[in-house]
Amino acid sequence: MIKKTIFYFILIVSAIVFTYPFLWMFLASISPDKAIGNLVLLPSQVTLDNYRQMIAKIPIWRALLNSVIVSGLITTGVLVFGSMIGYALARLEFKGRNLIFYLIIFTMTIPFQITLIPQYILMVKLNWTDTYYALIVPYLINALGIIMFRQYFLSLPQSLIDAARIDGCGELRIIFRIIWPNSVPVILTVAILTFMTSWNEVLWPLIVIRKESLMTLPQLVTLFVVGGRAESQLGVKLASSVFLATPIVIAYAFFQKYFINSMVSTGQKE
């Protein structure tokens, strides 16, 4: 009994350690700057001033739209291409299939530190810097996504595919009309993983985008905080940070299980 109480105590203290800072950040973002220093739990005064100033200072709505477009298109691409390639690897026989499978595994082990500089040069030579192309095209294919689709498709019954073939379905129809409705868990897992990763990506946008109207949310917030335009206004900085974190936290509240599964699968690839 005592043991259990101690366990619960440890768990509750840990839960506070992992979540309270976020609560503090939110409360600080709705407090006047003067009050943030003394803020512990309840704000003495509530104001939306920090958010008003943030909207006036930086094109945050535009950045939100950019992030939605970029992450949305990347996710669509990864799902469409990933399931096509994963299907071919799992369900079709052709020469070179194993070779391609091992290539995909191999590319996952290449650290991105080696491709960062030449990929930037490629963007410069294609005239893609300061365009959506640079933010989207390199991410449309994702090795881990392909592997996850392949793995899942291997477990589907062959009769499903045979029946569709007898009805005269082409392979694309089979993938998107027959396989997809039977693969909702893997689609959700890959979609969430891809969307979250591209939503939070900041290094690549910092490299290829200089034009403010094309910046994604994390990039705009980073440059706002680092570049001195937030001056020393703590509340405005924290407001922009809350604005950046909120969409993913809301999504997490609904799809918690899939978030955890998708992150676990990235862990296990190693």
Partner 1 sequence: MRKGKLTPYLLVSPYIVHFLVFVVFPVAFSILLTFFKWDIISEMKFSGFANYRRLFADRLFWKALVNTLYFLSIHIPLELVVSLFLAEILNQKLKFQGLFRALFFLPVIVSGVAVTILWQQLYGYNAGLLNKFLMYIGLGKVGWLIDTKMAMPSIAIMATWKNVGLYIILFLVGLQTVPKQYYEAAELEGASHWQKFFKITLPLINPTIIMVVILSTIGGFSLFIEPYIMTGGGPLNSTLSALLYIYKQGFFYYHMGYASALGIFFALLIMAVVIIQRKYIEKRT
Residues 19-78 that bind partner 1 (CB under 8 A): 19, 21-22, 24-25, 28, 36-37, 40
Q: Measured from the CB atom, is 51 or 259 closer to partner 1?
A: 259
Options 65, 69, 84, 156; binder of partner 1; rule CB under 8 A: 84
Q: Measured from the CB atom, is 24 or 132 closer to partner 1?
A: 24
Q: Does 103 bind partner 1 (CB under 8 A)?
A: yes
Binders in 220-239 for partner 1, by CB under 8 A: 221-222, 225-226, 234, 237-238
Q: Does 242 bind partner 1 (CB under 8 A)?
A: yes
Q: For residue 62, how many C-alpha atoms fall within 13 Å in the half-sphere facing its CB?
A: 13
Q: Does 105 bind partner 1 (CB under 8 A)?
A: no
β strands within the chain, DSSP E:
none
Dihedral (Cα; 206, 211, 216, 220), 10-degree rounding: 70
Smallest gap from Cβ 182 to partner 1, in A, equals: 18
Number of neighbouring beta carbons within 10 Å of residue 207 = 16
Percent helix, strand and coil across the chain, each rounded to 5?
80, 0, 20
Options 58, 70, 85, 135; binder of partner 1; rule CB under 8 A: 85
Taking alpha carbons only, the member of 223, 218, 241, 219 closest to residue 50 is 241
Q: What are phi and psi of 201, to 5 degrees?
A: -65, 135
DSSP secondary structure code for residue 238 in this structure:
H
Q: Which stretch binds partner 1 (CB under 8 A): 17-25, 57-65, 154-162, 177-185?
A: 17-25
**What's the CA gap between 186 and 177, in Å, rounded?**
15
Q: Does 169 bind partner 1 (CB under 8 A)?
A: no
Which residues, 6+ apart, have CB-to-CB distance to 216 below 8 Å? Answer: 63, 66, 67, 70, 135, 201, 202, 205, 209
Options 41, 56, 118, 184; binder of partner 1; rule CB under 8 A: 118
Smallest gap from Cβ 222 to partner 1, in A, equals: 5
Residue appearing with tokens 């650290």: 111
Smallest gap from Cβ 138 to partner 1, in A, equals: 5
Q: Does 188 bind partner 1 (CB under 8 A)?
A: no
Rounded to a whole number of angstroms, the CA Rg of the chain reads 23
Q: Which stretch binds partner 1 (CB under 8 A): 43-51, 85-93, 147-155, 179-187?
A: 85-93
Q: Which stretch binds partner 1 (CB under 8 A): 45-53, 55-63, 87-95, 153-161?
A: 87-95
3-state secondary structure of 86: helix
